[in-house]
Homo-oligomer: A and B are copies of this chain.
Amino acid sequence: MANGADRLDLDGKPIKPMTICMIGAGGFIGSHLCEKLMTETPHKVLALDVYNDKIKHLLEPDTVQWAGRIQFHRINIKHDSRLEGLIKMADLTINLAAICTPADYNTRPLDTIYSNFIDALPVVKYCSENNKRLIHFSTCEVYGKTIGSFLPKDHPLRQDPEFYVLKEDISPCIFGSIEKQRWSYACAKQLIERLVYAEGAENGLEFTIVRPFNWIGPRMDFIPGIDGPSEGVPRVLACFSNNLLRREPLKLVDGGESQRTFIYIKDAIEAVLLMIENPERANGHIFNVGNPNNEVTVRQLAEMMTEVYAKVSGETAIESPTIDVSSKEFYGEGYDDSDKRIPDMTIINRQLGWNPKTSLWDLLESTLTYQHTTYAEAIKKATSKPVAS
């Protein structure tokens, strides 16, 4: 690797080695970002999380080429006095913490609000007070529903991009009523974005906000009962992976009619690296990071995954690959959802020259190959054991 050679930013200036404090480094996104930073850049990482399973391969053995450049700190940012000191040591803080799952938004809104708003406050405060740059990970959930979703079915304006394409600087944030508790997460994320933006406007905080649109890849979430709680409900791709691994029907919530876009984690990490290394172009902006070309309904996703999994596993697809369940049954009372989430890419193209590359078929093949390789044997063992009940 040309780690130390003259790497240049988008404006042709040499990129200086940075110390990066990464909060939530042990999660899915954090693990891929750490990997990228270690293998392709000279930057140093202070990796903060409560778990490090997904970055174990970067921390051991001591003989790896980047050994001195990554330090793991077991910290829960909610109540750890070491946080401020670590932020002071860094040039840049990346906050990936508290990415929740839809099942939690609906049934545990108090925890959701606290972990996504209140627990993020100290990070913003320390960055602002210590003049440190912040890359804040948010969510495409802040857009909520589309304007078009309120129009009568078959209304012509539903096809107008202005009524469904999501633009960082123009599109509104539309959430359902208070009793639809599912929106607690989106609302907490919207308010912390507004606070970060306000710190920038009032106190000069150098910030960048990232809105991920379904980043998919190896190490995403967990498989219930294997490397996460057996009653846990991860996000849609991990849920479907779990169903495929166990040769169970894939559960489609409310018919799986919601439309979503999916992007390969490695494409997304390229975008994040550009933000890290181009502060003049990234500071003060909010960026959608997604792939508008990879849009499917959740039902179509299930069909594609079934087909791809049969290919990578060598097993035949099961007879009835999907089953419909209601959102109430799956997520609980008060669930509500967005119909469509297509990111506009104008700002990220203009500021960072970034475009996603990987098709949905390719990203599913890569991800499901990993899922099969990693979990198939463990699932076989788990399902063959008698379970006390």
Give chain A's interface residues, CB within 8 Å of chain B. 108-110, 113, 117-118, 121, 142, 144-145, 147, 150-151, 157, 163, 167-179, 181, 183-184, 187-188, 190-191, 193-195, 197-199, 201-203, 209, 286
Contact B109 A194 (CB under 8 A): yes
Contact A178 B150 (CB under 8 A): no
CB neighbours (8 Å) of A169 from chain B are 177, 179
CB neighbours (8 Å) of A191 from chain B are 113, 117, 187-188, 191
CA distance A260 to B31 in the complex (A): 51
A176 contact from B110, B163, B172, Cβ within 8 A:
B172
Give the distance to chain B from A339, nearest Cβ to Cβ, in Å: 13
Give the distance to chain B from A307, nearest Cβ to Cβ, in Å: 37
Least CB separation from A162: chain B residue: B150
CB neighbours (8 Å) of A170 from chain B are 177
CB neighbours (8 Å) of A183 from chain B are 173, 194
What 10 A-B pairs have minimum CB-CB distances, sorted nearest first? A109-B198, A110-B198, A147-B150, A174-B174, A173-B175, A187-B191, A184-B194, A191-B191, A178-B197, A178-B193
CA distance A86 to B89 in the complex (A): 44
Give the distance to chain B from A198, nearest Cβ to Cβ, in Å: 4
CA distance A190 to B142 in the complex (A): 13
A177 contact from B117, B173, B195, Cβ within 8 A:
B173
Instruction: Known A187-B190, A202-B109; judge A179-B150 contact (CB<8 A).
Output: no
Contact B150 A109 (CB under 8 A): no
Besides A173-B177, A187-B187, A187-B190, 9 new A-B residue pairs in contact (Cβ under 8 A), listed by A number: A109-B201, A113-B195, A169-B177, A172-B176, A178-B190, A181-B194, A184-B195, A187-B191, A187-B194
Contact B202 A110 (CB under 8 A): yes
CB neighbours (8 Å) of A203 from chain B are 110
Contact A198 B177 (CB under 8 A): no
